[in-house]
């Protein structure tokens, strides 16, 4: 059974720091991996999607890497800002017929960036 773990569970940093959020998964048979952001009381916003054949994706100050064989992904946030404060969720799409659409989520990393 696929399990997704995110470390750390919570993180508080001063503005301007570069951050690394970690995601690990137990079964390397994945179709893709997605990183989402969730603000309090809101839905999820897709940040980056990495296909299983890719090693990384970048969007602005965000960079996500994927090492499928070791079951790991990292989300790198450069020059953090208070507006980055949110919960960051990692989710994998299982690579079996009928499984692609059943994302399995980690519990998230709650990030607080203070001025």
Partner 1 sequence: GAGVSQSPSNKVTEKGKDVELRCDPISGHTALYWYRQSLGQGLEFLIYFQGNSAPDKSGLPSDRFSAERTGGSVSTLTIQRTQQEDSAVYLCASSQQLNGGELFFGEGSRLTVL
What is the dihedral sign for C-alpha 95, 55, 7, 80? negative
Smaller CB separation from partner 1, 32 or 65: 32
| CB-CB contact of 107 with 23 (8 Å) | no
Say which residue the tokens 């890719």 belong to.
54
Distance CA 29, CA 33 (A): 11
Shortest distance in whole angstroms from residue 81 CB to partner 1: 23
Shortest distance in whole angstroms from residue 44 CB to partner 1: 4
| CB-CB contact of 74 with 35 (8 Å) | no
Binding to partner 1 (CB under 8 A): which residues in 75-114? 89, 91, 93, 98, 100-108
Which of 29, 19, 16, 8 shows the shortest CA–CA distance to 90? Answer: 8
**Residue 28-67 contact track with partner 1, rule CB under 8 A, x = bound:** ---xx-x-x----xxxxxx--x------------------
Shortest distance in whole angstroms from residue 88 CB to partner 1: 13
Return residues touching partner 1 (CB under 8 A).
31-32, 34, 36, 41-46, 49, 89, 91, 93, 98, 100-108
């Amino acid at each position: 059974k696929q399990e997704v773990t995110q470390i750390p569970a919570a993180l508080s940093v001063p503005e301007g720091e570069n951050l690394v959020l970690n995601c690990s998964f137990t079964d390397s048979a994945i179709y893709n991996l997605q990183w989402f952001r969730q603000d309090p009381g809101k839905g999820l916003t897709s940040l980056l999607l990495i296909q299983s054949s890719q090693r990384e994706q970048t969007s602005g100050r965000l960079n996500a890497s994927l090492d499928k064989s070791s079951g790991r992904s990292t989300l790198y946030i450069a020059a953090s800002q208070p507006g980055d404060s949110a919960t960051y969720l990692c989710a994998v799409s299982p690579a079996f017929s009928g499984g692609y659409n059943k994302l399995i989520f980690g519990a998230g990393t709650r990030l607080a960036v203070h001025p």
